[in-house]
Chain A
Amino acid sequence: MALKTFPITPQEAIAGLTDGATVMVGGFAGYGVPVHLMTALRDSGLKGLTLITNDTVNLAAGKPSPAMLVEAGIIRKVITSFPITGSVGAEIAKAEAMYRSGEVEVELVPQGTLAERIRCGGAGIPAFYTPTGAGTPFATGKDTRDFNGELQVLETALHADVALVRASVADRMGNLVFRRTAKNYNPIMAAAATVTVAEVDTLVSAGELDPEAVGAAGVFVDRIYLRPKP
């Protein structure tokens, strides 16, 4: 493992990504999204990416979602639990139109299964059985098996070339502290990628964080991008 790096710009922070790569982007409903890194990715000119993220819906005002990546035309496939708004009669977002037309492929995954597939990807577990989705379309084409008298579905782990995650504080060892529900997928995605880039508000020296407050250990983190002060 190379030394941690501290890129100055978000463009530098995502350097090395190539066409066709698989990218995880942390966040939930616009909370805990690494907005600067995500925006640099949107403007990167890359093509044919696979995006793994909870949702591609702009739910909260002023909180951009990974929908911007889909709408920029750089994504080939999205693995997600919430690709479109649930509201009936809502205006069809550009991303939804791209899903409906087949321009972008959607692999729809129950949210808990998505989180566990990511967790397993970081934990070295290639597959697992889960009760979620048994007897529903989410089990179609998958191995099923009885454990303890209940039908279970075989699901496989997810791993990415790059994970873009959001944290509140990092130290120079790469340890991350998360705040409130901005935590969501960020700790598990940090572990599940070859290169993990964290976007943080504050960077401190080694020894300044309470080790027990660390939400993702620095062993998972490669690059730390310090946001400009607002």
Chain B
Amino acid sequence: MEKERMPRELILMRVAKELEDGSYVNLGIGMPTLVANYIGDGKTVIIHSENGLVGTGPMPEPGQEDPDLCNAGGQAVTMIPGAAIVHHADSFAIVRGKHLDAAVLGGLQVAENGDLANWMRPDRGVGSIGGAADIARGAKKVYVAMEHITKDGEFKIVKRCSYPLTGAGVVHTIFTDAAVIRVTPQGLVLEEAAPGWTPEDVQAITEPTLIVSPDFKEISL
């Protein structure tokens, strides 16, 4: 029987732990945006929103929304002291020009060669790419935060993506509700697993063969 996977909050906390003090980071829309809530006071992470905001702050109190200030998901936000605002082409110069230390993106599929598919389920016929293709290619480290398998139990970590790609060979590390897996030239390396999970448990819900890290350990936050 499959073991219990971790709640979403723990994925977000584990990703937040990975972000370095003083780094510039883009958080994708949806679940990755919530990573900001778990960074804590011990370090400064400057959050880039692709609509031109460098230094995105928390959500405003109700009634305090600025009608001209939003994040990449169109949600009202605040700015941190020292924030900067640039136009859209400059915002993506930041992205493409390798000025982002890391990005956290969602994933539909990640392949063992680091390919990422996260913008379209083929059966929908139309998709929205947004800034994901630029960010996937431009950030120095691309972290994917997602559930390990689909609700129907299908693999999301696969040998080859069957969905249209966002970026080819771009993923650095995958953070799921069961494991932390690094993408390396030799293949996928299992670094950490959820409490009580063995490497065999993770392998059972992962299509490609995992290499177990010599430092394999339980996820700690």
Contact = CB atoms under 8 A, between A and B. Distances in A.
B131 A181 contact: no
Contacts of A54: 88
A136 B92 contact: no
Nearest to A65: B74
A223 B202 CA distance: 61
Given A60-B74, A110-B131, A111-B130, A131 B89 contact: no
B107 to A, nearest CB: 13
Contacts of B91: 112, 115
Interface residues of B, number: 47
A187 B85 contact: no
A135 B165 contact: yes
A227 to B, nearest CB: 13
Nearest to A122: B89
B85 to A, nearest CB: 6
Contacts of A220: none
Nearest to B125: A100
Interface in B19-48: 29-30
B115 to A, nearest CB: 8
Nearest to A55: B128
Contacts of B87: 178, 183-188, 215
Contacts of A111: 50, 88, 92, 129-131, 133-134
B137 A131 contact: yes
Given A84-B127, A215-B87, A31 B169 contact: no
Interface string A143-175: 000000000000000000000000010000000
A113 to B, nearest CB: 7
B133 A29 contact: no
A212 to B, nearest CB: 15
Contacts of A32: 68
A78 to B, nearest CB: 11
B88 A60 contact: no
Nearest to A120: B89
A81 B137 contact: no
A225 interface: no
A131 B128 contact: no
Contacts of B121: 88
Contacts of A94: none
B128 A112 contact: no
A115 B133 CA distance: 13
Nearest to A54: B88
A215 B69 CA distance: 17
A168 to B, nearest CB: 8
Nearest to B76: A60
Nearest to B65: A60
A63 B66 CA distance: 13
A60 B89 CA distance: 23
A71 interface: no
Interface in A67-117: 81-86, 88, 96, 99-100, 106, 108-113, 115-116
13 contacts: A28-B51, A29-B70, A55-B128, A57-B128, A59-B73, A82-B129, A118-B89, A131-B96, A131-B137, A134-B168, A136-B165, A179-B68, A181-B70
Interface of A: 28-32, 54-55, 57, 59-60, 63, 81-86, 88, 96, 99-100, 106, 108-113, 115-116, 118-119, 130-138, 168, 178-188, 215
Report, nearest first, the 7 A-B pairs whose CB atoms are least far apart: A135-B168, A29-B74, A112-B92, A112-B134, A59-B74, A110-B133, A180-B68
Interface of B: 29-30, 49-53, 66-70, 72-76, 85-89, 91-92, 95-96, 115, 119, 121, 125-134, 137-138, 164-169
